Amino acid sequence: MKKENNKIKNNDSIVEAHNLRKVFRIPKKQKDLSWIKKKLSWFYREWLDKVAVDSVSFKVKKGEILGYLGPNGAGKSTTIKMLTGILHPTEGEIRVLNNLDPIKNRKEYTQNIGVVFGQRSILNYDIPVKDSFDLFQSIYQIPEKRYKERLNFLVKLLKIEPYYEVPYRKLSLGEKMRCELAASFLHKPKIVFLDEPTIGLDSQAKLIVRDFLKDINKKDGVTIVITSHDMDDIEELCERIVLIDKGKVYYDGKLNSFISKYADSKNIRVHFKKILDKEKFKKLTQKKSFQKNHNTITFKVSANKKLGEYLSDIFNIVEVIDVEISEPKLEKIIAKVYRENE
Amino acid sequence: MKRYIDVFLKDTVIKLKEIREYKANMFFSLLISFTEALVSLIFIGGVFYSVKDIIPWTSAIFIFYVLYFEGMMNLFETFYVATRLHKYILAGDLNNYLIRPLGVGFQYMLASSRIRPFFTSIAFFICLIVYVIVSDITFSLSRLFPTLLFSIIAGLTMISVIRFTDSFSFFFKQPVSIRNIYSRMAHVYNRFPGVIFTGGLRKLAMMFPNVYFGAFAIHYLFGFSDLSTLYLQTGILLILLLISFVGTLLIWKVGMRNYEAYN
Amino acid sequence: MNKYLKYFKIGFLQSTEYKSSIILSFVSPFIIAVFFYFVWGYLYSLSDGLIGGFTFKEMIFYLIFGLLIHTIRSSELAEKICEEVKSGDIAIYLCRPVSFVKSVFAKGFGERIVQIVMVFIALIVITLVANLPIPNIQTLGILVIYLILFIIFDIILYSIIGAFSFWFTEIWGIRRAVEHIQLVLTGRILPLSLFPLWFSSILKFTPFYYMEYSFASIYLGKFTMIQAIFGVGMLLLWIFILLVILLIVYKIGFKKLEALGG
């Protein structure tokens, strides 16, 4: 492996991924063989190279909340696993914190990170949550006084006082996730990786989690890398996103710019008092993209059309009271981007 | 390092709490262990009744043997009774270990240890002491200390060898594995005190540390073998210990490298 | 009926999923068998030729059979049920406890079918190799029935143990305790003929007498046909009793689950 001396030069990045590549060898699935032959295939198995991550490079700035997005199978989880030191990259380099390598400097690195997987718990299943926290205190060697203060702080912020003494397995999904979050922030890590943290949570739990992440990011200055399929999460929390598809980075930049760039239309709703030009109005509302509802018309305008011209036309057709302009939901934009990339 | 000691102590406290909460499991553990001891006694009684003079032990020594052996066995099982490495690998549980500032092997060891066998062991030793007091069995006290020391060395070797066979799960990932085969064979030597064998079977018995803290220890304690034999056997134990310890470290290193975090 | 066929197929495919597992599961008893051969050979060389009424060859056969039978056991069944109860998956059967039992059976059989065939092949091979007399067709027929009844009994037994998970969070303790007791009582570690007479007489009232010990004795020609058929009858009786217990236990268990609301 070519050893590039990619030191973290500027003080802003806390994680740097350079040309990451991960290839898995999986046994070939011979779908067209009868199932008996499949059983015998133990003697002549063929292997397939599956490229999970193709050449991903990006940086995470200190103190930011980064959204790492992509459709299922895009390589998100694989990238996060490489960044946290769980998987060895096939090629490429990762530099974290003070120029550390997640695998070579594992002990030092893990002392300063927190990880929460959406599907797998980091807390002990059978014992009360408090005991798991105590164990974490020993694992991360948190001094007693600091531990107590931190614990109180997190418990209050995440509202988990009532669940604290309960065995983990008895909690609901939302309660579990909040406990996991508390555990992963206990030792005041510099970076926290969250993999689908709000999956399966009800709306109230989601709000608590989002508020918590915003608060702790502000208070501790902790960098958060979050992957999520919930676009509300991303819109609420992330200023910057990295979009990955088919193992490659598709977009890396500000969320706002992404929306502006890829949103193909804007939604306009016009409230009017009365119709000024009946004929032109009839023509307008016959168009498919127009919807009329009492004194409101709703329609879409594609991003490349000049909004101003449209609106001045409308102003001549009806007596306008109010105009609402909104951008389409991030969810729809992203779904469209995934579809187009297929 | 202080970190490891702290974590070990906290973990022990948590496990003790678990015992207090799930008392039923402790009861069943004891029940199973005593049933096993009973099975051994029945077996010995049944077989050795028909085949006399195969072993110079009296029936009192047999009972002592069973109690002592179960006590020792459970004591050491504390450290490996719950090893199911293949499950951890398949379920991707090792991920959790990788993201913590502790050795993965150490965390796995903690996760596969249980406190219950420790208490079972104490129960058996209490029974043993009671039996010694109540019956008229005698042994030379000067032999007691070497026997105990010898047994502990054998126990440590046992733990190391079991971990070694368990680590092959990195290659096989099956429930039925090297570990199982090894344990099954060791079990046979539980039933037949290793001292009754000669030749090939005797040599094979040397591969199983449970024979050492079982038959060999008792044989020495009651004067049927002497110190020179003990030294020889300790030598073999230490070789086994070394090979298995180093082997385990190597396999884990290679295994973790290729660990592909199955989901 | 097709639904249960599907379960059967799932069970069969699952058991053959890990090819090395099948191979290993026969290598393991084979190694132990070789082991037994030498150990018992040594013991017999010091005896007068008969231990517990079995000659050396017969004893080896007896012990190997005990190992083979082990592969037919449905020991994971109890834990699987326990997991389903813990995770709440079992709720789909809440309204139909009978169909739950049926699906457990279908799946259990699917998993064991391969083993039955293997066991019989192994037995025949050992018989030929050891130069023991091969039983006649009627005896073999009875033995097939015995094996099938074993499996049924086994499935029911483990299902009942699994049902304890409605009340306990872990049932491995109960399962292992039952397995250990069975080890002694069915004669798997020692032929029941080596036990005192009063003990084996009591056992004749339990189903355990009619398992490993009876099967091996029939195979080796130590039981008459009448005794064999009587054994079948006892097994059927006990299967019936256990079945009733099973249904009752699950009805109560499901009611408890309903009350908790999952």
Distance from CA of A39 to the nearest CA of C (A): 8
Query: How many structural domains are present in chain C?
Result: 1
Rounded to two decimals, what is the model's pTM?
Answer: 0.76
pLDDT at A2: 45
Query: Which positions 126-165 of B are in contact with A (Cβ < 8 Å)?
Result: none
Nearest CA in chain A to B99: A110
Best mutation target among C21, C25, C28 (most B Cβ atoms within 10 Å) is: C28
Boundary of a domain, candidates A209, A228, A259: A259
pLDDT at residue C115 is higher than 80 = no
Of residues B249 and B54, more confidence is placed in B249
A114 falls within a domain: yes
CA B116 to the chain's CA centroid: 14
pLDDT at A3: 47
pLDDT in tens, A29-63: 655 555 665 556 555 666 778 888 888 999 999 99
Encoding tokens for residue A271? 């409230």
Please, how many CA atoms are within 13 Å of residue B27, restricted to the half-sphere of its CB?
A: 7
Encoding tokens for residue B24? 């039923």
Give the ipTM of the model, two decimals please. Answer: 0.81
**Neighbour tally for B239: CB within 10 Å:** 12
Residues ≥6 apart with Cβ < 8 Å to C86? C165, C169
Same domain, A174 and A221: yes
Encoding tokens for residue C141? 């027929």
Cβ–Cβ below 8 Å for A139 and B3: yes
pLDDT at A76: 87
Q: Partners of A338 in the beta sheet?
A: none
pLDDT in tens, A117-171: 877 788 887 788 999 999 999 999 999 999 999 999 999 988 888 888 888 888 8
pLDDT category of residue B8 using cuts at 50, 70 and 90? very high
Per-chain mean pLDDT for chain C: 79
pLDDT at C163: 84
- Helix %, strand %, coil % of chain C (to 5): 80, 0, 20
A122 falls within a domain: yes
CATH number of the domain that residue A279 is part of:
3.30.70
Distance CA A311, CA A297 (A): 12
Query: How many structural domains are present in chain A?
Result: 2
CATH number of the domain that residue A249 is part of:
3.40.50.300
pLDDT at residue A229 is higher than 60 = yes
pLDDT in tens, C179-211: 888 887 888 878 888 777 777 888 888 888 888
**Neighbour tally for B202: CB within 10 Å:** 13
A81 falls within a domain: yes
Distance from CA of A150 to the nearest CA of B (A): 19
> C100 — phi, psi (to 5°)?
-65, -50
pLDDT category of residue B145 using cuts at 50, 70 and 90? very high
pLDDT category of residue C15 using cuts at 50, 70 and 90? low
Encoding tokens for residue C223? 């039981």
pLDDT at A133: 93
- Are the CB atoms for A54 and A75 separated by under 8 Å? yes
- Are the CB atoms for B196 and B55 separated by under 8 Å? yes
Q: Partners of A67 in the beta sheet?
A: A226, A241
Q: What separation in angstroms does the CA of A196 have from each of A117, B15, B96?
A: 7, 31, 16
C16 in A contact zone (CB under 8 Å): yes
In this predicted structure, which of A24-33, B79-88, C62-71, C157-166 has the lowest mean pLDDT? Answer: A24-33
B102 in A contact zone (CB under 8 Å): yes
> What range defines the domain where residue C184 resides?
2-260
pLDDT category of residue C252 using cuts at 50, 70 and 90? confident
Cβ–Cβ below 8 Å for C194 and B174: no
Q: What is the mean pLDDT of residues B39-59?
A: 76
Distance CA B41, CA B59 (A): 10
The amino acid present at B18, given as its one-letter code, is: E
Distance from CA of A234 to the nearest CA of B (A): 25
- Give the closest residue to B183 by CA, choosing from B199, B168, B197: B168
Same domain, A57 and A177: yes
- Runs of H (alpha helix) within A67-202: 76-83, 106-111, 129-140, 144-158, 173-185
Residues ≥6 apart with Cβ < 8 Å to A158? A178, A179, A181, A182, A208, A209, A212
Instruction: Please tell me which of the candidates A119, A127, A140 has its beta carbon nearest to residue B18.
Output: A127
B201 in C contact zone (CB under 8 Å): yes
| DSSP sequence for B160-219 | HHHHHHHTTHHHH--SS-HHHHHHHHHHHHHHS-GGG--HHHHHHHTT-HHHIIIIIHHH
- Runs of H (alpha helix) within A229-324: 231-237, 255-262, 278-286, 307-317
Same domain, A191 and A300: no
Residue with tokens 């068998």: C33
pLDDT category of residue B159 using cuts at 50, 70 and 90? very high
- Give the closest residue to A180 by CA, choosing from B90, A171, B17, A236: A171
Please name the helix (run of DSSP H) or strand (run of DSSP E) that holds residue A271, with its range, or none: strand A265-275
Pairing of strands A296-302, A290-293: antiparallel
Same domain, A231 and A277: no
Pairing of strands A113-117, A191-195: parallel
A271 falls within a domain: yes
pLDDT at C11: 63
pLDDT category of residue A7 using cuts at 50, 70 and 90? low
Q: How wide is the angle at C-alpha C145 spanned by C-alphas C143 and C151, nearest 5°? A: 105
A332 falls within a domain: no
Same domain, A111 and A224: yes
DSSP state of C188: S
Radius of gyration of chain A (CA): 25
Best mutation target among B19, B34, B35 (most C Cβ atoms within 10 Å) is: B35
pLDDT at residue A182 is higher than 70 = yes
- Give the closest residue to C52 by CA, choosing from C227, C195, C186: C195
A217 falls within a domain: yes
DSSP state of A324: E
Cβ–Cβ below 8 Å for B25 and C170: yes
pLDDT in tens, B202-241: 888 899 999 999 999 999 999 898 899 999 999 999 999 9
DSSP state of A276: S
DSSP state of B22: -
pLDDT in tens, A271-307: 888 888 888 888 877 777 777 888 888 887 776 667 7
Same domain, A170 and A99: yes
Same domain, A216 and A238: yes
Distance CA B152, CA B159 (A): 11
Distance CA C247, CA C96 (A): 11
Same domain, A278 and A210: no
- Give the closest residue to B156 by CA, choosing from B260, B67, B80: B80
pLDDT at residue B262 is higher than 50 = no
Residues ≥6 apart with Cβ < 8 Å to B127? B67
pLDDT at residue A265 is higher than 80 = no
Encoding tokens for residue B167? 């680590």
> A294 — phi, psi (to 5°)?
55, -115
pLDDT at A142: 93
Residues ≥6 apart with Cβ < 8 Å to B47? C43, C51, C190, C194
Best mutation target among A76, A127, A138, A169 (most B Cβ atoms within 10 Å) is: A138
C260 in A contact zone (CB under 8 Å): no
A341 falls within a domain: no
pLDDT at residue C237 is higher than 50 = yes
Same domain, A250 and A268: no
> What range defines the domain where residue A160 resides?
13-259
> A223 — phi, psi (to 5°)?
-80, 135
> A156 — phi, psi (to 5°)?
-65, -45
Nearest CA in chain A to C14: A39
Cβ–Cβ below 8 Å for B54 and C46: yes
pLDDT category of residue C97 using cuts at 50, 70 and 90? low
Length of chain C equals 262
B90 in A contact zone (CB under 8 Å): no
Same domain, A236 and A291: no
In this predicted structure, which of A84-88, A96-100, A173-177, C18-22 has the lowest mean pLDDT? Answer: C18-22
The amino acid present at C58, given as its one-letter code, is: E
pLDDT at A268: 83
- Are the CB atoms for C23 and B176 separated by under 8 Å? no
Cβ–Cβ below 8 Å for C16 and A42: no
Contact list, B89 vs chain C (CB under 8 Å)? none
pLDDT at residue B5 is higher than 90 = yes
Same domain, A310 and A177: no
Same domain, A286 and A254: no
Per-chain mean pLDDT for chain A: 84
